[in-house]
Structure 1
Amino acid sequence: MNEVVHAACGRHLLLDAHGIAPERLSDAAGIEEVLRGAAAAAGATALFAHFHAFGVGQGVTGVLLLMESHISIHTWPEHGYAALDIFMCGHARPERAAEHLLAALAPTSHALRDVARGLDTVSGQ
């Protein structure tokens, strides 16, 4: 039996960040700036951004489209929580984006999962 394993197309980091100051999580312009800084730290190229604030003191949802894929965020200020996706391919370093996001948002705790995307295993005889 022959098995061919193709390299991953990209890495998808799933970041859950808890214990963030609520004012950081309701400021759409500030969050966009943080995500742009994360992309730059990773060596990625920003193409387009769209962020939506749900109202004073409420959460923000947003995405920064990258040449290398995207960084997205959804925030819950009332819980001090942010859910972030960092998906990058090519030579970009998503772990550097995660480090930048953690430094900028300053959560008291976080969980990070690193998923290889696009793996393809072909088995044959």
Structure 2
Amino acid sequence: MIKQKQLGNHLLIEYYDCDSEVLKNTSLIEKHMIEAAKIAQATIVESVFHTFSPWGVSGVVVIEESHLTIHTWPEYKYAAVDLFTCGNTIKPWVAFKFLEGKLKAKRADLTEISRGIVDRILEDNKNLL
């Protein structure tokens, strides 16, 4: 199968049976997400994280190449993560494996989506002219 030229790559990740204490710790989750961006060779712009009551974390690391997000449910030992990267220098698969280890996930499901298929974009633009 020939891979089409795309603008971005989006990894949708489900981490199961994680360490609940890690998933509750907002500062630790932010630290891991920032480190994941760095080891993926992304350029960090800003990070914002929120702690829910009684527990759970949502956060985003905005990168020049798009974003990394996380939402945790410590009571279910579950985390949902999106790694959306543009360009061909970023390594989201490295970030995926890093986070799997840091969250102490026993299992992970991953869906990869190509974003911005160039042929489709150009076809759409022809219809606008």
- Distance change in 2, residues 1:88/1:50 (3 Å): same
TM-align CA RMSD: 1.9
Aligned equivalent of 1:50:
48
Of 67, 73, 77, which aligns to 1:70? 67
Q: How does the TM-score come out when normalised to structure 2? A: 0.86
TM-superposed CA distance for 1:113, in Å, is: 1.1
Large movers: runs of 4+ above 6 Å:
none
Unpaired segments ≥5 residues, structure 1? none
Q: Determine the C-alpha separation between the residues in 1 that align with 2:46 and 2:29.
A: 14
TM-superposed CA distance for 1:6, in Å, is: 6.2
Of 32, 35, 43, which aligns to 1:34? 32
Q: Which has the higher strand share?
A: 1
Unpaired segments ≥5 residues, structure 2? none
Q: How does the TM-score come out when normalised to structure 1? A: 0.89
Larger RCO, structures 1/2 (Cα 8 Å, 6+ apart): 1
Q: Which has the higher helix share?
A: 2
Q: Deviations over 1:35-76 (max 9, x none)?
A: 0111111100111010000134x1000100001100000000
